[in-house]
């Protein structure tokens, strides 16, 4: 177990954090608190963190695109991931809005139809209104 000695303290913490985060997300999916479709982006984000924690040298690559301070690359990665997830939420929300609208309209049309049918049924039974 030679390699463990080469890990810095912050690396150990971030590795542990990433693993716990991934396990947490998977646990949510297992308990059906979170749908697989919505877990995907979170898992990708956690996976990215795990990779970056294991190979922090990757952050130094950011130098080539002009990010001189390595932790800034980490923030960039994090913020980009969160924005992606938020956009996914807006998309889902928009779809829900449309679905709720359609259901609401259908409910009103069906309710009207039921009222009509009841009225017709009432007049069919010797014209007496039914007790309700």
Residue 19 C-beta: closest distance to other proteins, Å:
43
Residue 2 or 90 with smaller CB distance to other proteins:
90
120 vs 118: CA distance, rounded Å: 5
Query: Minimal CA–CA distance to 45: which of 16, 10, 85, 12?
Result: 85
The helix-helix angle for 36-54 and 9-30 (nearest 10°) equals 170
Question: Tokens 């990010």 belong to which residue?
Answer: 67
| Closest by CA position to 41, among listed 1, 86, 98 | 86
Residue 114 is encoded by which pair of tokens?
């039921």
Of 23, 58, 56, 15, which Cα lies nearest the Cα of 42?
Answer: 23
100 binds other proteins (CB under 8 A): yes
Closest distance of CB 116 from other proteins, Å? 8
Considering only 7-15, 59-67, 68-76, 106-114, which stretch makes contact with other proteins by CB under 8 A? 106-114
Stretch that binds other proteins, among 1-9, 10-18, 19-27, 102-110 (CB under 8 A): 102-110
Q: Does 104 bind other proteins (CB under 8 A)?
A: yes
- For the record, the structure tokens of 18 come out as 């990433």
**Window 59-98: contact mask with other proteins (x via CB under 8 A):** --------------------------------------x-
Is 112 an interacting residue with respect to other proteins (CB under 8 A)? yes
**Dihedral angle computed from the Cα positions of residues 79, 97, 36 and 40, in that order, rounded to the nearest 10 degrees:** -20
Q: Which is nearer to other proteins, 97 or 123 (CB)?
A: 97
**Binding site residues, other proteins, CB under 8 A:** 97, 100-101, 104-105, 107-109, 111-112
């Amino acid at each position: 177990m030679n390699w463990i000695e080469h890990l810095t303290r912050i690396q150990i913490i971030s590795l542990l954090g990433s693993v716990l985060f991934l396990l947490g997300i998977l646990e949510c999916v297992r308990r059906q608190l979170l749908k697989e479709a919505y877990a995907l982006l979170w898992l990708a984000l956690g996976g990215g963190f795990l990779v970056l924690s294991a190979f922090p040298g990757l952050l130094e690559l950011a130098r080539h695109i002009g990010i001189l301070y390595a932790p800034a690359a980490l923030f960039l990665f994090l913020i980009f991931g969160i924005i992606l997830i938020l956009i996914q939420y807006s998309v889902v929300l928009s779809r829900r809005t449309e679905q709720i609208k359609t259901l609401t309209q259908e409910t009103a049309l069906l309710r009207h139809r039921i009222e009509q049918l009841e009225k017709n049924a009432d007049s069919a039974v010797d014209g007496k209104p039914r007790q309700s």
